Amino acid sequence: MPLPVRPEDFFATIPALAKAGFAGLNVTIPHKEAAFAVCTHVDDFARRAGAVNTLIFTERGIEGRNTDGYGFVANLRAHGVNPAAGPVLILGAGGAARGIGAALQDAGAEVTFTNRTPERAAALAAALPPAKMLSWEQREAALADCALLINTTSLGMVHEPPLPMNLSRAASGLTVADIVFAPLETRLLADAKAQGLKPVEGLGMLLHQAVPGFEAWFGVRPVVDEDLYRIAAT
């Protein structure tokens, strides 16, 4: 059940949903950091990431988890990509970037953040040591030394402008991942494919991140397979 909630209504809406009988929900842009604050309890990984995308309503209160990182890494591996193959550049510094960056660090990757607002990238790098930050203007030059580029911003999403990113300086083995799933192929992924780079779309991450939440809500752990992917893609 999709529930559009305005940011100013978020803190009133979530407890009301719990009282109304919901088992929990996923939250997305722009609520992931607010979701952390509304929780009664958060798990260790969500606390480290500083963002929550999965809420579970229990007798103890509101439990928060961050499954973005799990979903992203699981989707990489489903595409045959080693998350620790080399340096990673993450575009964006919001809730998704936090969870993905922490999960990649746990997998053994060297992570650098860049953001249009440099203060946010610097704060995120400081929150996840030994992560680094890079100025937005240097992002294209940095691709020569990267194994993985990740767009966690809303740029490229339906009704949003495309991400300004020239991939001509990328290393030949670069994997380009976009967490945007509408459209399924963003301009960034189309450009990556045209240059012979490996594209990884966002729908797989969406499906994999939902697995732990679904299991917590309903007691059944779903399997992300080709049939599920095909149904979600249509």
| Residues catalogued as catalytic | 32
Amino acid at 124: L
Between strands 61-65 and 148-151, the pairing is unpaired
- HEC string of the chain equals CCCCCCHHHHHHHHHHHHHCCCCEEECCCCCHHHHHHHCCEECHHHHHHCCCCEEEEECCEEEEECCHHHHHHHHHHHCCCCCCCCCEEEECCCHHHHHHHHHHHHCCCCEEEECCCHHHHHHHHHHCCCCEEECHHHCCHHHHHCCEEEECCCCCCCCCCCCCCCCCCCCCCCEEEECCCCCCCCHHHHHHHHCCCEEECCHHHHHHHHHHHHHHHHCCCCCCCHHHHHHHHC
Structure-token match 């909630």, residue found = 5
